[in-house]
Structure 1
């Protein structure tokens, strides 16, 4: 082997080890960078005329297990969906309260029953009657507040949909730009790995919103499609649009055309609002806004109707005339069975029994429609109020007949059970996601391995440098002869 050939081999080794040191240092510095794919320098033996001519750098590879990455992204969507449901149901449970919570609707009803029992024991006491009035108001207020809270949760879901659609559009535009940049980088022969890292981060932001599959295209470009078959991007990014509502009232629904669904380049995605953008947090948020929370609102309205009708029944209060409101009113008026939607937010105690509104407290003892005061020691009407609460009735939404307290308790228990089920789904989805994430990170940067590689690179660099130094010494010696 000639001196020039040896020098060429050593210099190629120095170049390769320098590049490898650069890549290893990049790996170590990005160990905590989200979306970073570990880099590996691809080397091969250089051959010239059948003789070894050192080493050549074939390129830089970005190490990613595409199968694990694809599964982890699907797990992102499943976890995002389950967390969305769990968080909303936790908020709903907190709003409605548990049956043993004094501030919950069930707790308010229990306090009312206890107060009426005290008033029945001493109907002559204005103090007991006043306390009973306060408890009636408290139950009505509880229904009002729960209705407002559910509307707020629907408004939050509506706003969350808008945020997710905005994130979807932003990420798709980024992918469109990065696709073009990666194609240019490949055409120019430069390393596109950093651009691929950025594209992976953009895709990951989408994967929690909708489950996606990555499809390879020419020149390093990719396309994205949902598992339901919606092509999110394959070239220019489309525009998804959603019009958020400032305020959502109980009667406002998607099916009635009063709430927005998603459109793609101006075309509706479907009657459910999201079409084939299903399977992730976006679908879950639509389901909450248009189904889960609407069902809760419907049951709450049915409870308000049940309460109102119990105390408007002439068998309970003979002083109430036909078409006249009973102890509870629909915003001051008699209840219209065709106008049940939103009743929980309108129900109120009849002003006729409220001294602060010009009524008479004695009507709690004598009947809402009483024109004259009856015997102060007569507890018949108060006993009738107690009987009205304990009577078994079926809600307008169906189910088994129960007392009013029983109906309220079943409502709260159903919400709690749904929340428990949602938490179990989160636990399952989270465990699956964690397993896949660990498998994904197994191909990521391992600092111990990288440091070991760096030591090997240092040794190889030193060996090649020694060859160069030796050749230099030989040439100097020859020059001295």
Structure 2
């Protein structure tokens, strides 16, 4: 081997060692960077430039396990979905309150029952009659507040959908732009690893909204599809359409046209199908809260309000009433209309005849809502009848409640209905989080291992030293030759 050949071979070795050290440094620096894929320099022995022996740098490869990546993204989508549901149900459970919590629905009904019993023991006490009116009014206000809570959450979900759709469209366009840059870099043999890292981070953000499947295309580009079959990215990005609403009422639904559905490239898609185009991620959960879960809770809440109104409209409870008259609790001042049950919890109120704040008189609670004049102040028969009506076991006429309960027991059943849903959602959160953590750990095991990178650096140092010695020896030989 000639001196020039040895010199060029050593120079190629130094160049390769320098590139390997650079890549190792990048790996170590980004060991904890989300979306970063471990780099590795691919080398080959042979002719450098087809002329002299040495080491050739074929390129820098980015390591990743696409199957593991897909599984992790699916788990993260499931976690986001479960967390949205759990947050909504836990918030509703907190609003209802536990039976022993001050201000809870059960607590207010219990206070109402206590006030009736105390008033029956002293029917001549205006203060005790006033306490009945106040506690009854607080029961109605609690149901009103729960109604508002459910509808506010529907509106919040609608707004979150609009924000998520904007984020989704922006992210899909970013993937298309990164695809174009990766193709451009690949055609000029430039390293695309950093661009792929950036693209993977964007795809991870998409996966939290909609589960995605990544499919490779030519020159490093990728296509994205949802497991439900929706094309998200190929040669261009899909365009999702949604129109939010500034306000929302109990009567507004997607089926009725009052609320927006979702479109892809102008075409309507299902937002409620179990295996639909968007099922499985945060966006799916938001639609289900707005269109299914919250309306389902509203139905059960209205059933509780209906049951309470019906208990006191019975003419056997208050003989001063005639058929069709509203009882102690009303539907916005009117008698119960079974054809208008939707939203009843938001309209239930204390009868104005017995409410001093509405110009009524509390003696009507003792003497009857339909009484023409003040009766015997010592007569507690109506107060006892009202107390018995509240405590009677009655099977609700609507909702999922099929067991006869007293009013407080029905409130407990409603809380249990919500709590069971919240517990199921929390269990799914725990499962999805454990699955996600396990897959992230598996990904990290295949990602940057700093111990391995340090070992690689030692090998790079040895290679650099060996090639440097060759060049030093050549330099010494040249100095000797020149000194002859």
Structure 1 match to 2:405: 402
The answer as to whether partners of 1:77 and 1:281 remain within 8 angstroms in 2 is: yes
Superposed counterparts of 1:87-236, under 5 Å: 87-236=87-236
Structure 2 match to 1:363: 364
Which secondary structure state, in structure 1, belongs to the residue aligned with residue 413 of structure 2? helix
CA distance in 2, matches of 1:382, 1:189: 90
| Paired residue total | 481
CA distance in 1, matches of 2:438, 2:117: 58
> Runs of at least 4 residues of structure 1 off by over 3 A?
47-52, 271-275
Q: Which runs of 5+ in 2 are unaligned?
A: none
Change (3 A) 1:184 1:51: closer
The answer as to whether partners of 2:271 and 2:284 remain within 8 angstroms in 1 is: no
Structure 1 match to 2:83: 83
Structure 2 match to 1:66: 66
The answer as to whether partners of 1:98 and 1:413 remain within 8 angstroms in 2 is: no
- Shift of residue 110, structure 1, vs aligned partner: 0.9
Change (3 A) 1:388 1:44: same
TM-score by length of structure 1 reads 0.97
Root-mean-square deviation (CA), in Å? 1.7
CA deviation map 1:341-372 (0-9, x unaligned): 11111111111112232211111101111111
Change (3 A) 1:93 1:129: same
CA distance in 2, matches of 1:154, 1:48: 67
Which secondary structure state, in structure 2, belongs to the residue aligned with residue 268 of structure 1? strand
CA distance in 2, matches of 1:356, 1:28: 72
Structure 2 match to 1:457: 460
The answer as to whether partners of 2:321 and 2:370 remain within 8 angstroms in 1 is: yes
- Shift of residue 22, structure 1, vs aligned partner: 1.0
Q: Which runs of 5+ in 1 are unaligned?
A: none
Which secondary structure state, in structure 1, belongs to the residue aligned with residue 156 of structure 2? helix
Tell me whether 1:312 sits opposite 2:301 in the alignment.
no
CA deviation map 1:234-258 (0-9, x unaligned): 1111210111122221111111111
The answer as to whether partners of 2:231 and 2:238 remain within 8 angstroms in 1 is: no
Structure 1 match to 2:295: 294
Change (3 A) 1:155 1:273: farther
CA distance in 2, matches of 1:48, 1:193: 24
- Shift of residue 50, structure 1, vs aligned partner: 11
Structure 2 match to 1:267: 267
TM-score by length of structure 2 reads 0.96
The answer as to whether partners of 2:39 and 2:60 remain within 8 angstroms in 1 is: yes
Structure 2 match to 1:332: 333
Change (3 A) 1:359 1:174: same
CA deviation map 1:429-466 (0-9, x unaligned): 11111111000011222222222322321222122112
The answer as to whether partners of 2:271 and 2:287 remain within 8 angstroms in 1 is: no
The answer as to whether partners of 2:72 and 2:439 remain within 8 angstroms in 1 is: yes
CA deviation map 1:50-80 (0-9, x unaligned): 9981111010010111121111111111111
CA distance in 2, matches of 1:100, 1:65: 52
Structure 1 match to 2:475: 472
Tell me whether 1:255 sits opposite 2:255 in the alignment.
yes
Which of 425, 428, 452 is matched with 1:425 structurally?
428
CA distance in 1, matches of 2:121, 2:420: 38
- Shift of residue 49, structure 1, vs aligned partner: 12
CA distance in 2, matches of 1:311, 1:190: 80
CA distance in 2, matches of 1:261, 1:448: 51
Structure 1 match to 2:342: 341
- Shift of residue 271, structure 1, vs aligned partner: 6.7
- Shift of residue 48, structure 1, vs aligned partner: 7.3
CA deviation map 1:380-435 (0-9, x unaligned): 00011111112222222252221111111100011111111111111111111111
CA distance in 1, matches of 2:190, 2:49: 28
Change (3 A) 1:30 1:223: same
CA distance in 2, matches of 1:27, 1:307: 67
The answer as to whether partners of 1:45 and 1:52 remain within 8 angstroms in 2 is: no
